[in-house]
Structure 1
Amino acid sequence: MFTGIVEELGEVVSIEPAGAAGEAVLLTVRGPLVSSDARHGESIAVNGVCLTVVDLGSGTFTADVMKESLDRSSLGALTPGSPVNLERAARVDGRLGGHIVQGHVDGTAGLLSRDPGDNWDVLRFGLSRELSPYVVEKGSITVDGTSLTVSAVSAPGAAEEYFEVSLIPATLEATTLGSLAVGATVNIEVDVIAKYVERIAAVTAARNAAA
């Protein structure tokens, strides 16, 4: 479990094919802070994707990335030298500075535009019809592992569905979002509470209909 508060801006060191069919990869990332107290088997979020540490080096960690994660996230597009947002798993005795983040990416989104301001930048991302019901204005969303508040969202049924976030200088400086170019793809995780509510409502409706 994570909070979406990025601890460190890391860098991809290497990506090596793994598995019999080469469909998985071994991802090695430089992150002195997050790897300083990491142990084999622990979790670290890389651009919002929960990965398991399988090896540790001097200021680096290596994780297995399976085909499912490559297919559903932007990790497959990383190359050596790519910057990545890093966060260690949350401690149960710590403060929840962001929101409940599982590290289970729901999909990806493209950056449609960015509007720089004096004290913040407004970023607009495209939103798939599958994910749009879970995104609400002033709600929480995770973009490349960063917990953000939705500042605007497209009207229901709009021809182009999107959401916007307003980023303060601290977020722009401490995460990859500060240098994100229009057209770039990011990982999206919607609020897990919304997904549970939808599931409970659907199951309840089905049971009532069958009664």
Structure 2
Amino acid sequence: MFTGIVSDIGTIQSVEERGDLRLVVACDYDMDGVDIGASIACSGACMTVVEKGANWFAVDVSAESISKTADTMWTEGARLNLERALKVGDELGGHIVTGHVDAVGAVVAMEAVGDSHPIRIKAPRDIAPYLAPKGSITVDGISLTVNAVEDLADGDVIFDLNIIPHTASVTTFADLKIGDEVNLEIDILARYLLRMEKLRAATG
């Protein structure tokens, strides 16, 4: 489990095809305190540490993970928002995050208003019912609050965020451009509602 509070930005140093993708990610974590088998969220996707060094760790990314995440995130040189798994007693600064990406969205508008950065993201219809104003959403591993929601005629949805200067400075939001894809995870309560609605529909 995670909280959506990014604690480092990593950079993919190398990508190797081994059936799965083996990624080496440079970071500033003290890797002496990170065990092999530990979980690290990489821009919202929970990954398992399979190798490590003084300032890097390696993960294996399955074809399933690649198919469910943003197209350009698993490339050499890409920057990733990193968060280590929540420990008992840690401060819950964001909201409960599982590290399972529900959908891929796209940035459709962004601007600077004062020091803040309003951003609009288009999300697919599958998760549209689970986005609500003042609700929580995880975008590329970052816990954020939805400001507004606009339902589109085709069933897709556009939701608004406001990125404060601190969040922009400690995450990869500074890299985003209009058209970029982002990983989205709905709030865990909405995830259970999604499951219950699917079961209700299946049983009539």
**TM-score band w.r.t. shorter chain:** over 0.9
Matched, 1:109 2:105: yes
Distance in structure 1 (CA, Å) of the matches to 2:93 and 2:152: 30
Q: Structure 1 residue 199: deviation in Å? A: 2.4
Please, which moves more after superposition, 57-66 or 27-36?
27-36
d(CA) in 2 for partners of 1:95, 1:177: 23
Match of 2:180 in 1: 184
Structure 1 moving runs of 4+ over 6 Å: none
TM-score norm. by structure 1 comes to 0.90
1:78-127 C-alpha deviation (Å, 9 max, x unpaired): 32221110000011111110011000001111110102111310010111
- Please state whether the residue corresponding to 1:131 is helix, strand or coil: helix
Q: Is the 8 Å Cα contact of residues 101 and 142 (structure 1) preserved in structure 2?
A: yes
Moved more, 10-19 or 196-205: 196-205
Aligned-pair CA distance for 1:206: 6.0
Q: Does 1:128 align with 2:117?
A: no
Contact 1:2 1:100 survives alignment (8 Å)? yes
- RMSD, aligned α-carbons: 1.9
The answer to whether 1:7 aligns with 2:3 is no
User: What displacement does 1:157 show?
Assistant: 4.2
Measured in 2, the distance between the counterparts of 1:17 and 1:168 equals 38
How far apart in 1 are the matches of 2:199 and 2:156? Answer: 30
State the Cα distance separating 1:155 from its structure 2 match: 3.4
Partner of 2:125, secondary structure, is coil
| Residue 38 in structure 1 maps to residue 62 in structure 2 | no
Partners of 2:7 and 2:71 in 1: CA distance: 19
The 2-side partners of 1:55 and 1:69 are apart by 19
Q: Look up the SS of the partner of 2:92 in the other structure.
A: coil
TM-score, structure 2 normalization: 0.93
Partner of 1:16: 16
Question: 8 Å contact 1:69–1:75 — kept in the other structure?
Answer: no
How many residues are paired up?
204
1:146-161 aligned at under 5 Å gives the runs: 146-155=142-151, 157=153, 161=157
Instruction: Indicate the structure (1 or 2) with the bigger Cα radius of gyration.
Output: 1
| Percent of matched pairs sharing the same residue | 39
Contact 1:140 1:147 in 2 (8 A): yes
Compare 177-186 and 52-61 and name the one that shifted more: 177-186
